[in-house]
Amino acid sequence: MDKKLFEKSKKIEKITFIFDILAIMTYIALFLILFNLLELPPIVDGRMNLDILQFMTPTYEFLGNTLDKWQMNSIISIIIIFMVVNIPMLAVNMKKNRTKTIYEINSYTAASKFVQAVINLLSFNIVSAVLRTYNTFIIIKFVKGYNVKEFFKSIIPEIKDAIAKRKAKKAQIIEDNTDDYSSSLKKNIRRQTTIHTFRLLGTYLFLVLMALIIIIPFYWMVLTSLKDFTGATTNNPEFYIGISRWNWINYKVVLTELNFGLYIKNTVIVAIFSTAGTIVTTILAAYAFARIEFKGRELLFSILIMTMMIPGELYIITNFITVSKNGLGWVGMPTGQNQYFLAMIIPFVTSISYIFFLRQNFKQIPESLYKAARVDGCSDFKYLTRVMVPIASPTIFTITILNVFSSWNAYIWPRIITGVGGQEGQNYWLISNALRDTAFVQEGGKVMYNLQIAASALVTVPLLIVFFAFRKYIMNGIGRSGTKG
């Protein structure tokens, strides 16, 4: 094995990443510019006239070219497809390049590099494509010892060789078949294989059918969110539409006119603060329950566990009284004195189930480590931050993600809180209650289904992105904790 070639291929891959990142930044910038250019319908009587949204045919000036609506849609769609393909590819490649050892390189690596080069070429990233192709040849040389020329020369002989081998094998099988006993045995084996194949086919068919039932709502959501009003309400809905008819303007209307930009900002604020609070309080409390000896520890802990059984509805009713004007006075006050964010964040800055989950994790860290640290003069707090937290960091990360998810999906509490105070409360809506309570209805009772579904997609897609990025943490965390929510 030539270690130098391996190092060289790694280095070239690193240089390729720079161009990949540049390309992705270009896509993002282009997307933002084009998305900003999209023309919204005119405002009539303080409301946007959404009825004419699908009949507008504006033209756009971009880099000296005049683009009509359909061309604009196609360009944005293509850029988005590029981003969807290239960003995960870059992330996976970066991770692989860091962890890949010299023993994991084989001819499949070369093939996948070549496929990636083709994808780069298709997404107009020519420099990366050239570099990756060059890298492919280096890996081929590393694995097989061929040069570029020898590689092309070796293709035809190798195919011939493979065919010849196959023929030889077939001939051997026919020769073997002469015996009477062995032929009956073979028949038996073949029958069993057939049964096995059918069973496997049935299993896969069942799994694919179930997977379709799971996937179809997501597909239908994305598809509908890109249709125009007629397309979304017609009697014969289309199951596929061409990229020139993907109406990205729907998302812009939802973000600006229907205020979902504001609601997403509110939700992000609530999610960040409540998650930060949860992490700090749960780590401290879990540490106290796991390591510090004090009287009544088990009693206090079992009381906490028992409260997990009580349904959340009980808390919500009385907590609403607590935060309203007869209690802490965060909501229900005269306009201008309400603290909606406080009321939405503070009740959720700690969680008993996460304390329980983290305590189990802390308890698995050997006690001897703690004693050794104490002998070396390490204080409790230092031990917690320097030893415990780094060891338990995967669990803490899982808790972070799950908590962000639950604040993103919170519905009833924000709805009750922002339900008081009329218009002022409406400015503090979080996305879930905005989704349910925003009027997607135009004059004459027309429900703008495409906009409604576009808003749903806007809520769902970030969740899916986070899920795919940190799939391992989330699935492990839920598998181990066995608790929901």
Partner 1 sequence: MVNLIKNVKRFLIKIGNVIKNIFWNIRRILNNYKCRISNYLDKKHLNPAGKFPGWAKALLYLSPALVVLLIFTFWPIINSFALVVYENYNMSNNTITGYTLFGNFIRVLTDESFIVPASHTASSAVINTLIIVFISVPISIFLALAISVALNSIKPLKSFFQTIYFLPYVTNTIAIGLVFAYMFKTDGGLVNEFLNFFGIQTDGLSWVESNAVYWRSMFVLIFYSIWASLAFKIMVFLTSIQGIDKQYYQAAAIDATPKGRIFSKITVPLISPMIFYITVTSVIGAFKIYNAIVALFGVTGAPPGVSYNLQSIVMYIYQFIDGSNAGNLSVAAAGSLILFAIILVLTIVQMQVSKKRVHY
Interface with partner 1 in residues 226-255 (CB under 8 A): 233-237
Is-contact 403 274, C-beta < 8 A? Answer: yes
- Closest approach, Cβ 422 to partner 1, in A, equals 13
- Closest approach, Cβ 354 to partner 1, in A, equals 10
Contact region with partner 1 (CB under 8 A), list: 135-143, 152-160, 296-304, 388-396: 296-304
Is 125 or 319 the residue whose CB approaches partner 1 more closely? Answer: 319
Residue 88 contacts partner 1 per CB under 8 A: no
Number of amino acids touching partner 1 (CB under 8 A): 96
Residue 96 contacts partner 1 per CB under 8 A: no
Q: C-alpha dihedral over 170, 171, 172, 174, to 10 degrees? A: 90
Neighbours of 291 (CB within 10 A): 17
Residue 281 contacts partner 1 per CB under 8 A: yes
Footprint on residues 401-420 left by partner 1 (CB under 8 A): 405, 408-409, 411-412, 415-416, 419
- Closest approach, Cβ 391 to partner 1, in A, equals 18
Q: What are phi and psi of 279, to 5 degrees?
A: -60, -50
Encoding tokens for residue 350?
């700690």
Pick the binder of partner 1 from 57, 103, 295, 368 (CB under 8 A): 295
Rg (CA), the chain: 30
Contacts of 436 (CB under 8 A, 6+ apart): 411, 415
Pick the binder of partner 1 from 55, 124, 198, 206 (CB under 8 A): 206
Pick the binder of partner 1 from 89, 94, 105, 221 (CB under 8 A): 221
Is 23 or 457 the residue whose CB approaches partner 1 more closely? Answer: 457
- Closest approach, Cβ 456 to partner 1, in A, equals 4
Measured between alpha carbons, how far is 383 from 65 in angstroms, rounded to an integer?
Answer: 63
- Closest approach, Cβ 254 to partner 1, in A, equals 12
Is 217 or 394 the residue whose CB approaches partner 1 more closely? Answer: 217
The Cα-based distances of 47 to 40, 253, 419, 437 in angstroms read: 12, 12, 23, 17
Footprint on residues 2-61 left by partner 1 (CB under 8 A): 11, 14-15
Is 162 or 321 the residue whose CB approaches partner 1 more closely? Answer: 321
Neighbours of 86 (CB within 10 A): 21
Pick the binder of partner 1 from 155, 214, 299, 375 (CB under 8 A): 214
- Closest approach, Cβ 409 to partner 1, in A, equals 5
Contacts of 249 (CB under 8 A, 6+ apart): 38, 39, 40, 53
> Nearest to residue 123, comparing CAs of 171, 158, 156, 90?
90
Strand, helix or coil at 338?
coil
Footprint on residues 321-380 left by partner 1 (CB under 8 A): 321-322, 324, 326, 346-347, 349-350, 352, 355, 379-380
- Closest approach, Cβ 313 to partner 1, in A, equals 4
- Closest approach, Cβ 207 to partner 1, in A, equals 5
Measured between alpha carbons, how far is 348 from 403 in angstroms, rounded to an integer?
Answer: 9
The Cα-based distances of 467 to 87, 110, 246, 417, 474 in angstroms read: 15, 29, 25, 29, 7
- Give the ranges where 123-247 is alpha helix by DSSP (H): 126-144, 148-176, 180-225, 229-233
Is 152 or 198 the residue whose CB approaches partner 1 more closely? Answer: 198
Residue 211 contacts partner 1 per CB under 8 A: yes
> Nearest to residue 467, comparing CAs of 387, 408, 392?
408
- Closest approach, Cβ 459 to partner 1, in A, equals 4
Pick the binder of partner 1 from 94, 241, 304, 378 (CB under 8 A): 304
Footprint on residues 421-460 left by partner 1 (CB under 8 A): 431-433, 435-436, 449, 452-453, 455-457, 459-460
- Closest approach, Cβ 442 to partner 1, in A, equals 16
Is 248 or 348 the residue whose CB approaches partner 1 more closely? Answer: 348
Residue 310 contacts partner 1 per CB under 8 A: yes
DSSP of 442-483: ETTTEE-HHHHHHHHHHHHHHHHHHHHHTHHHHHHHHHHH--
Pick the binder of partner 1 from 55, 108, 152, 204 (CB under 8 A): 204
Measured between alpha carbons, how far is 25 from 28 in angstroms, rounded to an integer?
Answer: 5
Residue 294 contacts partner 1 per CB under 8 A: yes
SS3 content of the chain, % helix, strand, coil (to 5): 75, 5, 20
Identify residue 484 by its one-letter amino acid code: K
Measured between alpha carbons, how far is 289 from 65 in angstroms, rounded to an integer?
Answer: 67
Is 65 or 236 the residue whose CB approaches partner 1 more closely? Answer: 236
DSSP letter, residue 384: I
Encoding tokens for residue 367?
């006690």
Is 135 or 282 the residue whose CB approaches partner 1 more closely? Answer: 282
Contact region with partner 1 (CB under 8 A), list: 46-54, 96-104, 132-140, 291-299: 291-299
Phi-psi region of 125 (alpha: psi -120 to 50; beta: other; left: phi over 0): beta
